[in-house]
A = this chain, B = another copy of it.
Amino acid sequence: MSVLDLLLGERQSLIEKRLALHGRVIAADLAAELGVSEDTIRRDLREMAAAGLCRRVYGGALPPAAETTFSERTGTNTERKDALARAVVPFVAAGSAIFLDSGSTNLAIARALPADRQLTVATNAPAIAAALIDNAGIDVIQIGGPIDRKTGAAAGAKALLDAEALRPDLCILGACGLHPDAGVTAFSFEEAEFKRFVALRSQAVLTAVTNDKLAMAAPYSVVALSRLDHAVLEADADGREVEEFAAAGLRITRAALTAARPVRRTRNNATS
């Protein structure tokens, strides 16, 4: 047999390859195939999940959440995002023109916007534009260009050109991370460029982030905390972190408490 004695690392990278190829792996199958016990496989999978290389599910594993598309993310934590969205609404003045960045939290904000304010909303995310069409009180402007599958939005050169025509009263940034030192950050270079460009053209900049993005720093910087006018956080955001932000001079608004559900565990990866 070719695969009887594999080093630990080899086995894991083989699992990883198999995962990418098939889109899923089953613990029992892997054990039989690699000639080790299911226990060992489970240990591998657990370890890989902790490293973000896969998502653990009953019976095996699936590709990591990082590879999940935009629409898959919209389904998670909806209640929290809705609560955040409701807290953002008061910041949107009647008659104003705002830019609503991509992101699942911002999609929730789009849905929460009332119909009685005669707003103009520009967005680079088709899903947000589509959600806004039903709202009779909102004029929608779509930023064009190639759509990035991960973010579900346009963020390239074309989008930047389109955005040049805007000078929004308010920019609601979608943040991949919000960190006391790093400020607002994003997962990709182009995305960060675009966000920064729009933010700097706006009269005010606001972001609403769920707890899992708090104190996270993604690789690319969008804007420093000092350029951010307001942050909307969850009701149960970690107090210590909130204080750090406040100390940095950031104005903070907390969302109202959501009715706690008996949480029937949604699918996340292990966030310790």
Q: Which residues of A contact B (CB under 8 A)?
A: 5, 7-10, 12-13, 16, 20, 24, 26, 47-48, 50-53, 55, 57-60, 62, 65-66, 69-72, 74-76, 78-79, 107, 111, 125-134, 136, 139-147, 149, 152, 154, 158, 162, 261, 264, 266-267
Q: Is B126 a contact of A129 with CB atoms below 8 Å?
A: yes
Q: Is B7 a contact of A58 with CB atoms below 8 Å?
A: yes
Q: Which of B50, B111, B142, B267 is A9 in contact with, Cβ under 8 Å?
A: B267
Q: Is B133 a contact of A130 with CB atoms below 8 Å?
A: no
Q: Is A75 a contact of B52 with CB atoms below 8 Å?
A: yes
Contacts of A145 in B (CB 8 A): 141-142, 144
When all copies of this chain in the complex are counted, the total is 2
Q: Is A57 a contact of B9 with CB atoms below 8 Å?
A: yes
Q: Is B130 a contact of A141 with CB atoms below 8 Å?
A: no
A142 to B266 Cα, complex, angstroms: 32
Q: Which of B5, B107, B144, B261 is A26 in contact with, Cβ under 8 Å?
A: B5
Q: Is A131 a contact of B69 with CB atoms below 8 Å?
A: yes
Nearest-Cβ distance from residue A7 to partner chain B, whole angstroms = 5
Nearest-Cβ distance from residue A100 to partner chain B, whole angstroms = 12
Known: A51-B76, A126-B127, A140-B146. A60 touches B7 (CB 8 A): yes
Q: Is B133 a contact of A162 with CB atoms below 8 Å?
A: no
A267 to B47 Cα, complex, angstroms: 10
Contacts of A146 in B (CB 8 A): 139-142
Nearest-Cβ distance from residue A219 to partner chain B, whole angstroms = 23
Contacts of A266 in B (CB 8 A): 47, 50-51
Nearest-Cβ distance from residue A61 to partner chain B, whole angstroms = 8
Q: Is A130 a contact of B69 with CB atoms below 8 Å?
A: yes
Q: Is B147 a contact of A62 with CB atoms below 8 Å?
A: no
A136 to B264 Cα, complex, angstroms: 30
Nearest-Cβ distance from residue A232 to partner chain B, whole angstroms = 19
Q: Is A75 a contact of B51 with CB atoms below 8 Å?
A: yes
Q: Is A50 a contact of B140 with CB atoms below 8 Å?
A: no
Closest to A47 in B: B264
A59 to B13 Cα, complex, angstroms: 16
Nearest-Cβ distance from residue A147 to partner chain B, whole angstroms = 4
Q: Is A10 a contact of B62 with CB atoms below 8 Å?
A: yes
- 4 closest cross-chain pairs (CB), A and B: A144-B144, A52-B78, A126-B129, A126-B126
Nearest-Cβ distance from residue A148 to partner chain B, whole angstroms = 9
